[in-house]
Structure 1
Amino acid sequence: MTIRISPSVLNADLSDLRGEVARIADAADWVHVDVMDGHFVPNLTLGLPVVERLAAASALPLDCHLMVEDPDRWAPGYAEAGARSVTFHAEAVGAPVRLARELRRLGARAGLALNPATPVEPYADLLPEFDMVLLMTVEPGFGGQPFLDGVLPKLRRTRALVEASGADVWLQVDGGVRASTIERCVEAGADMIVAGSAVYGADDPAEAVRALRRAAEQVQVTPGR
């Protein structure tokens, strides 16, 4: 299983995003950009103009996670701005399949995010419509929260559903992932890892990414989990 690391710039120096991305460019696979609108979640973060500029400047593809109301309206703009992956929340979207198809038409990977309390089973038949499923391992809206171990059983169920579907769907985890939790995530089936404070809270963010990758890749995942 290929492990992909996508550091979140929510925990970086937002006044120098170009420089912060450059610090991890040789170690990471993607750059995770948390977009919050102050409505779906309490905080307000980066928006479309910043993402457009960052997409043009980044050596890594952008993995945009939209924690916003009405993603049916807003998500296509992020694909048009240059994001290579755009993830929207099941709890906010009106027409998930239509939106996923539109994102793909615009050249982006389409991701579906689920909050900790949102079950995956209602979306089992729709999995082939997505390129990624993101399971939140904290409540969305704030960085630096502790990892929720209670999401691990859902992670295992999601991996089983993905394998049963036969679709090529990445399984992402976001929230509280660090050296002490990444092995549990990979053992449960995650292959796309978001890490924020564990990377940008380190003295050497690139080495922090490499350390997370080493920890993830040493996990021996049992077929069928």
Structure 2
Amino acid sequence: MTSKLVAPSILAGNFANLQRDIEMINQSDADWLHVDIMDGVFVPNISFGMPVLHAIMRHALKPLDVHLMIIDPDRYIKTFADLGADILTVHYEACTHLHRTIQAIKAEGMKAGVAINPHTNVSLLEDVIEYIDVVLVMSVNPGFGGQSFINNTYKKIKQLKEIIVDSGSNAIIEIDGGVSNDNAIELIEAGADVLVAGSYIFGSENPVTTIANLKEQINTQD
């Protein structure tokens, strides 16, 4: 069985102590460091910009999983590659020419991710699934941390897994929003490969232990 991954979302970290939180993730069992970039237009919030990502890159030892919640992401593909993104995820809803965008991300040496909002049907990715490395299924509406998990996500994961298998794609499925130990096993059983967790990790008494427990939990399934 391929190991299932945990990607703590630094959006839920302490902005006044980002270096401390990044170093905590470095020392933990986490696999990726998830970074949300929001522009206040595609989503009703503004998060990190390029200077902050540059600072994160200088301290992070885990692969940078950069999630762009911005309009017209093509403008910044090379910039995010230069800033150290290992995986660059754009939103289906923000891309006019998604296939071209995916190819541009790969041309910069990054893995290409495509995110879909809760209202977006997974079938819309069928024609490009063979080119995608990561499909990020939003299990909350994008823009804010700490939201409640949307239960229809399980159905979408199963449908997406069927599309991936039928097409012969190597894409993996990442889940972002409302992830905790309460739903982690069910998400993995539905077909998820990577779990993004923010508030659940950073709001816990011991984030390192929380990450370790979550990683063990999702990798002990039959």
1:155 aligns with 2:157: yes
Structure 1: distance between partners of 2:134 and 2:7: 13
Normalised by the length of structure 2, the TM-score is 0.95
Normalised by the length of structure 1, the TM-score is 0.94
Per the alignment, residue 175 of structure 1 pairs with 177
- Structure 2 unaligned blocks of 5 or more: none
Per the alignment, residue 105 of structure 1 pairs with 107
Structure 2: distance between partners of 1:75 and 1:4: 25
Mapping for residues 142-221 of structure 1, pairs under 5 Å: 142-220=144-222
Structure 2: distance between partners of 1:65 and 1:121: 21
Aligned letter for 1:24?
Answer: I
Residue 218 of structure 1: CA displacement? 2.6
Aligned-pair Cα RMSD in Å: 1.1
Structure 2: distance between partners of 1:75 and 1:158: 26
- Structure 1 unaligned blocks of 5 or more: 221-225
Aligned letter for 2:89?
Answer: T
Percent identity of equivalent pairs: 36
8 Å CA contact retained: 2:105, 2:111: yes
SS of residue in 2 equivalent to 1:54: helix
Structure 2: distance between partners of 1:21 and 1:201: 15
1:90 aligns with 2:92: yes
1:32 aligns with 2:34: yes
Structure 2: distance between partners of 1:14 and 1:159: 36
Residue 217 of structure 1: CA displacement? 1.6
Q: Deviations over 1:41-71 (max 9, x none)?
A: 1110001121122112211111011111111
Moved over 3 A (4+): none
Per the alignment, residue 17 of structure 1 pairs with 18
8 Å CA contact retained: 2:114, 2:134: yes
Per the alignment, residue 62 of structure 2 pairs with 60
